[in-house]
Structure 1
Amino acid sequence: MRNEATTQGDSTSAVVDAPSNSFRARPATWLAMIALPTAICAVAIMIGTHKFHLGPAAIVLMPILWTVLIAGFVGVQKWKPIGGRGRAVSTHLLDVAIVFFLAGLGTQIGPSLTKFTNIGPAILLQEVGHVLGTVILALPVAVALGLGRTAIGATWSIDRESYLAFAIQRFGVRSPEYRGVFAVWVLGSIFGAVFISLLAGLLGGLDFFDPRALALGLGLGSASMMLGGVGALSILYPERAGEIMALAALSNLVTNIVGFYAGVFIALPMCQKLYKMWSRIFGRDDLGRRVRRGALVGATSGARAGSDSGRPGRTAIGPDAASGIDAVDVTAIEADPTVVRTPKTWLIAFAATGVAGVLLNALGTGSTRPLDIVGVLILLAFTAIALVLAKLIPAVPSTIWVLALATIASATFMPIGPFVASAAQNINVLFAGLPMIALIGLSLGRDVKALRSLSWKIVIVALLTFTASFVAAAVIAQVAFHF
Structure 2
Amino acid sequence: MDQGTEAPAKITRAHWATSIALSTAVSVVAVLIGKHKFDLGPAAIALFPIIWAVLIGAAIGVQRWRPVSGATRAVSTVLLEISILLFLAKLGTEIGPSLAKFQNLGPAILLQEIGHIFGTVVIALPVAVVLGIGRASIGATWSIDRESYLAFAIERFGVRSPEYRGVFSVWLVGTVFGALYISLLAGFTGSLGILHPLALALGLGLGSGSMMLGGVGALSLLYPDQAAEIAALAALSNLVTNIVGFYSGVFLALPLCRRLYSFWSRLFGRDDNGQRVHAKTKETAAESAEETVLEVAHDPVARVTPLVELLSYLVVGAVGLLSSALGTWSFRVEDVIGVVVLLVIVRIAVALGKLLPMIPGSVFVLGIGTLLSANFLPTGAWISHLMENLDVMLIGLPGLALIGLTLGRDAQALKQLSWKVVLVALVTYTSSFLAAAALGQFALHL
Into which bin does the TM-score normalised by the smaller protein fall? Answer: over 0.9
In structure 1, the residue matched to 2:437 is 474
In structure 1, the residue matched to 2:252 is 266
| SS of 1:58 mapped into structure 2 | strand
In structure 2, the residue matched to 1:437 is 400
8 Å CA contact 1:138–1:464 kept in 2: the answer is: yes
8 Å CA contact 1:150–1:177 kept in 2: the answer is: yes
**Counterparts of 2:24 and 2:289 in 1: how far apart (Å)?**
43
**Counterparts of 1:396 and 1:286 in 2: how far apart (Å)?**
34
Which of residues 191, 194, 209 in structure 1 aligns to 2:177?
A: 191
Q: What amino acid sits opposite 1:188 in the alignment?
A: G
Which of residues 335, 355, 364 in structure 2 aligns to 1:372?
A: 335
Give the deviation of 1:261 after TM superposition.
Answer: 0.6
Aligned positions of 1:386-465 closer than 5 A: 386-465=349-428
In structure 1, the residue matched to 2:192 is 206
TM-score, scaled to structure 1: 0.88
Q: What amino acid sits opposite 2:289 in the alignment?
A: A
**Counterparts of 2:171 and 2:91 in 1: how far apart (Å)?**
24
Which of residues 207, 211, 215 in structure 2 aligns to 1:225?
A: 211
Aligned positions of 1:86-235 closer than 5 A: 86-235=72-221
**Identity rate of aligned residues, in percent?**
58
8 Å CA contact 1:51–1:60 kept in 2: the answer is: yes
Q: 1:174-211 CA deviation, whole Å, 9 max, x = no partner?
A: 01010011111110000011110111011101111111
Give the deviation of 1:24 after TM superposition.
Answer: 5.8
Q: 1:122-160 CA deviation, whole Å, 9 max, x = no partner?
A: 001100000110000010011011111011111111111
Give the deviation of 1:329 after TM superposition.
Answer: 4.5
In structure 2, the residue matched to 1:280 is 266
8 Å CA contact 1:215–1:247 kept in 2: the answer is: yes
Q: What amino acid sits opposite 1:434 in the alignment?
A: L
8 Å CA contact 2:95–2:370 kept in 1: the answer is: yes
Distance 1:221 1:237, change over 3 A: same
8 Å CA contact 2:8–2:70 kept in 1: the answer is: no
In structure 1, the residue matched to 2:344 is 381
8 Å CA contact 2:294–2:416 kept in 1: the answer is: no
**Counterparts of 2:361 and 2:147 in 1: how far apart (Å)?**
14
Give the deviation of 1:170 after TM superposition.
Answer: 0.7
Q: 1:363-398 CA deviation, whole Å, 9 max, x = no partner?
A: 011121111111111101111111112122223221
8 Å CA contact 1:152–1:271 kept in 2: the answer is: yes
Distance 1:336 1:424, change over 3 A: same
**Counterparts of 2:241 and 2:9 in 1: how far apart (Å)?**
36
In structure 2, the residue matched to 1:340 is 303
In structure 2, the residue matched to 1:322 is 289
**Counterparts of 1:291 and 1:29 in 2: how far apart (Å)?**
53
8 Å CA contact 1:23–1:339 kept in 2: the answer is: no
Give the deviation of 1:91 after TM superposition.
Answer: 1.3
Which of residues 34, 43, 51 in structure 1 aligns to 2:20?
A: 34
| SS of 1:60 mapped into structure 2 | strand
Q: What amino acid sits opposite 1:330 in the alignment?
A: L
8 Å CA contact 2:182–2:211 kept in 1: the answer is: yes
**Counterparts of 1:377 and 1:195 in 2: how far apart (Å)?**
31
Unaligned 5+ segments in structure 1 are 1-20, 300-316
**Counterparts of 1:343 and 1:389 in 2: how far apart (Å)?**
17
- The CA RMSD over aligned residues, in Å, is 1.8
In structure 1, the residue matched to 2:3 is none
8 Å CA contact 1:360–1:432 kept in 2: the answer is: yes
**Counterparts of 2:356 and 2:260 in 1: how far apart (Å)?**
37
Unaligned 5+ segments in structure 2 are 1-6
**Counterparts of 2:108 and 2:298 in 1: how far apart (Å)?**
42
